[in-house]
Copies of this chain bind each other. A is one copy, B any other.
Amino acid sequence: MLNFRTDLATERRDLYQKANNIENQIDGLESQKEVDENIKIERVKITNENGEKAIGKPMGNYITIDIKKLKIAQDEELKKASETLANELRKIIDEHIDKKGEILVVGLGNIYVTPDALGPKVINNIEVTRHIINYLPQYVKEGTRMVSAISPGVLGTTGIETLEILKGIVDNINPKLVIVIDALASRSIERISSTIQISDTGIVPGAGVGNTRAELSIKTLGIPVIAIGIPTVVETAVLVNDSLDLFITKLQEEAKSNDYLNQLKAEDNYEEIREALDPNDYNLIVTPKEIDELIENMATVVSGGINNAV
């Protein structure tokens, strides 16, 4: 399998197609695009084992929503992005549980580390109903879905695996479905805080930053896990690898390139670059300067989307 270094199924599909010179649809993968002015939706479905092997993800749905210029987005655009997310989320939830099935929303990450604070910030804005239905049922409409929310913290602060915390809570309060929000590593700085991936196959926290934790999925928690992932950081080696392509393209345009450079561009040089940067302490994980605002905007979009969908 390729070392994809991305959690986004669409990026993996593109990389797989490039690596194998495939132009048509891959067997076991269905995909569909929808493009609006500032919002692009792409739905990838892995339908069989061949698709699983090709892009190294389990069978299920993977939806990518791209929002252009989130950094300078106005209230109206944030609202529209929120509605798009709500629509996709609603469909995917309905595939797994009925309208009254209880949902637990989980915000992974660390509130004190800006690019990792998305999950906890979303949780703070989720409209929870579980306690009202339990203690003050007269204040909610008949048929309201039970929603609860938790931000369990990170292993470095708690000393406890997120799975251990969630397993205990899920066993105790018995929701029918879990929605997990997590900050991802991206293969591309463009996607940072402007792409949302929804999938119904769970999540491996920290996978994108080489700090893999125990999987959160139906296998480990016993109920379906919908993951909402948003790239917020990128590894320097990834950044350099992609920039190198752009740089060589420019040299080619200027007829300054040569066979060796052309070959460099045709290949994926990530591993070599990483090996060059690592010993020099150069391969940091970075985030855009404007990450505070991007996280605020994204938290508004995601919490709004979840509140509407559930």
Contact = CB atoms under 8 A, between A and B. Distances in A.
Interface of A: 111-116, 123-124, 128-132, 146-153, 155-161, 164-165, 167-173, 189-190, 233-234, 236-237, 239-240, 242-244, 246-247, 249-251, 258, 260-261, 269, 272-273, 275-277, 280-282, 284-293
A218 B287 CA distance: 36
Contact of A149 (B115, B157, B170, B250): B157
A116 B149 CA distance: 19
A155 B171 contact: no
A284 B189 contact: yes
Given A243-B273, A260-B258, A276-B249, A158 B289 contact: no
Copies in the complex: 4
Contact of A289 (B113, B161, B240): B113
Contacts of A240: 239-240, 243-244, 247
Given A189-B236, A240-B247, 16 more contacts: A116-B289, A148-B159, A149-B157, A160-B173, A168-B169, A169-B169, A171-B171, A189-B286, A236-B239, A236-B243, A246-B282, A247-B272, A258-B260, A260-B261, A284-B288, A287-B288
A99 to B, nearest CB: 18
Contacts of A150: 152-153, 158, 160, 165
A147 B157 CA distance: 11
Q: Is chain A's interface secondary structure helix, strand, loop, or mixed overall?
A: helix
B243 A114 contact: no
Contact of A276 (B115, B246, B269): B246
Nearest to A284: B288
Given A240-B243, A272-B250, A281-B190, A158 B148 contact: yes
A146 B170 CA distance: 24
Contact of A287 (B158, B275, B286): B286
A152 to B, nearest CB: 7
Contacts of A289: 113, 115-116, 233, 284-287
Contact of A128 (B113, B130, B158, B290): B158
A164 to B, nearest CB: 5
Contacts of A291: 114, 287
Nearest to A149: B158
A114 B292 contact: yes
Contacts of A153: 123, 149-151
Given A172-B167, A282-B242, A250 B275 contact: yes
Nearest to A289: B285
A292 B124 contact: no
A143 to B, nearest CB: 17
